[in-house]
């Protein structure tokens, strides 16, 4: 059986009167034993400032009675924007963002085509092509181009979601949030011309390969501790599954809930729990974490020797030597 609620509200009729109005069969003793499914659909409107409709909520309450004597209730909600007159300006903004994104994506594709043509010309010259290394060819491309294309795809998708008649709030917020994050991240590429402002990304790029290889080498050891924690302390909610155990150990590495974890494992397995945590923390904090930091530090020291910085240093040194010669 299904009941669709419209018109009179629960506040107007009162709780029981509202139920009698929309679902009279619940009070029919002859039909009640035959009842298997009850659905109630509600449409609610949320108003913001200036008495404008902001969100439209669709709430569906389901009472599943297929199991005799046992009704299982579920509530499903979906929120969408009302899209009043104030949305007309936002539609123009979304269309403008889509147009600019498509133009920028076309320019990136044009750059890729030019690089492809340049590589084809180099291949036609065997002497020049044989002298090139893979790093030389990779230097023709910029990793920011790929990020820019992903950013524009996210922008176009989020704008399309906003232009729907009834855009889902969750989908719209996720799309807008992702496109904003990628846009702000993409702005960082323009700091590349200023070595002092680009130091973080330069360090990250130089240390990424070493850090990734090192983390892959220690991953089996970390996962071994994860599985051992599940087997020793499965009664604890923080070690109830491999995912929860990995999250707990990662939190311990960052200094979170250390004392609580020591008490938790001691209550379950006594001194064995403390021994497990001591070995894990000393190994990963005193050894593995410090090795990882040293890899990043070494990359930071190398990032100080940025090509533009070296060029400036050479110019300053040359100018200083020139002035000293003139004075002599």
Q: Give per-residue pLDDT as tens, 62-83.
A: 877 776 656 677 777 777 766 6
Q: Which of 199-213, 214-228, 269-283 shows the lowest mean pLDDT across its residues?
A: 199-213
Q: List pLDDT tens digits, range 273-323.
A: 999 999 999 999 889 989 989 998 888 888 777 555 554 555 556 555 554
Dihedral pair phi/psi, residue 124, rounded to 5°: -70, -10
Provide the pLDDT for residue 115. Answer: 86
Provide the pLDDT for residue 9. Answer: 47
Mean pLDDT of 171-188: 88
Provide the pLDDT for residue 8. Answer: 44
For 264, the 3-state DSSP assignment is helix
Q: Which of 1-10, 79-88, 222-231, 262-271 shows the lowest mean pLDDT across its residues?
A: 1-10
Q: List pLDDT tens digits, range 32-63.
A: 667 777 777 777 777 766 556 667 777 777 87
pTM reported for the whole predicted model: 0.64
Task: Give exposure, 27-66, as e/b (b: 16+ Cβ within 10 Å).
Answer: eeeeeeeeeeebebebeeeeeeeeeeeeebeeeebbbebe
Provide the pLDDT for residue 4. Answer: 40
- Helices and strands in the chain: count of H runs, count of E runs: 13, 4
Q: How far apart are CA 307 and CA 117, in angstroms?
A: 27
Q: How far apart are CA 239 and CA 276, in angstroms?
A: 13
Query: Exposed, middle or buried, 258 (CB in 10 Å: 0-12/13-18/19+)?
Result: middle
Q: How far apart are CA 294 and CA 211, in angstroms?
A: 10
Percent of the chain whose predicted confidence (pLDDT) is above 90: 21
Q: How far apart are CA 134 and CA 222, in angstroms?
A: 34
Given a cut of 70, whether residue 191 has pLDDT beyond it is yes
Q: List pLDDT tens digits, range 238-253.
A: 998 999 999 999 999 8
Q: List pLDDT tens digits, range 107-161.
A: 999 988 988 888 888 888 888 778 878 877 877 888 888 889 999 999 998 888 8
Provide the pLDDT for residue 60. Answer: 79
Residue 73 Cα distances to 3, 24, 34, 39, 217, angstroms: 15, 19, 17, 10, 49
Q: How far apart are CA 306 and CA 319, in angstroms?
A: 20
- Asked whether the beta carbons of 230 and 245 are under 8 A apart, the reply is yes
Could you write out the DSSP letters of every residue in 286-318?
A: IIIIHHHHHHHHHHHHHHTS-HHHHHHHHHHHH
- Asked whether the beta carbons of 170 and 60 are under 8 A apart, the reply is no
Cβ-proximal residues to 223 (8 Å cutoff; 6+ apart), any chain = 246
Given a cut of 80, whether residue 175 has pLDDT beyond it is yes
């Amino acid at each position: 059986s299904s009941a669709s609620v419209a018109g009179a509200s629960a506040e107007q009729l009162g709780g029981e009167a509202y139920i009698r109005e929309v679902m009279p069969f619940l009070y029919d003793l002859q039909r009640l034993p035959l009842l298997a499914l009850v659905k109630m659909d509600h449409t609610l409107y949320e108003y913001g400032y200036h008495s404008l409709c902001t969100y439209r909520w669709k709430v569906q309450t389901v009472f599943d009675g297929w199991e005799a004597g046992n009704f299982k209730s579920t509530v499903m909600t979906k929120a969408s924007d009302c899209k009043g007159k104030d949305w007309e300006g936002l539609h123009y903004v979304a269309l403008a963002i889509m147009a600019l994104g498509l133009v920028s994506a076309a320019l990136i594709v044009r750059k890729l085509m030019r690089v492809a043509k340049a590589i084809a010309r180099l291949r036609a010259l065997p002497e020049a092509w044989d002298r090139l290394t893979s790093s030389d060819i990779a230097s023709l491309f910029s990793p920011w181009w790929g990020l820019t294309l992903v950013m524009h795809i996210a922008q176009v998708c989020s704008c399309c979601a906003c232009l729907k008649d009834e855009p889902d709030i969750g989908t719209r917020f996720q799309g807008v949030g992702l496109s904003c994050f990628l846009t702000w991240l993409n702005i960082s590429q323009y700091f590349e011309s200023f070595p002092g402002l680009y130091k973080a990304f330069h360090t990250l790029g130089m240390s990424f390969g070493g850090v990734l290889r090192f983390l892959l080498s220690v991953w089996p050891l970390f996962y071994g501790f994860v599985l051992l924690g599940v087997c020793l302390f499965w009664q604890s909610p923080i070690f109830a599954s491999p995912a929860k155990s990995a999250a707990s150990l990662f939190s311990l590495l960052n200094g979170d809930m250390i004392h609580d974890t020591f008490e938790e494992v001691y209550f379950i397995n006594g001194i064995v729990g403390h021994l497990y945590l001591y070995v894990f923390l000393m190994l990963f904090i005193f050894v593995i974490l410090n090795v990882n930091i040293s890899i990043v530090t070494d990359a930071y020291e190398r990032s100080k020797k940025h090509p533009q910085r070296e060029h400036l240093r050479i110019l300053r040194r040359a100018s200083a030597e020139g002035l000293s010669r003139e004075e002599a």
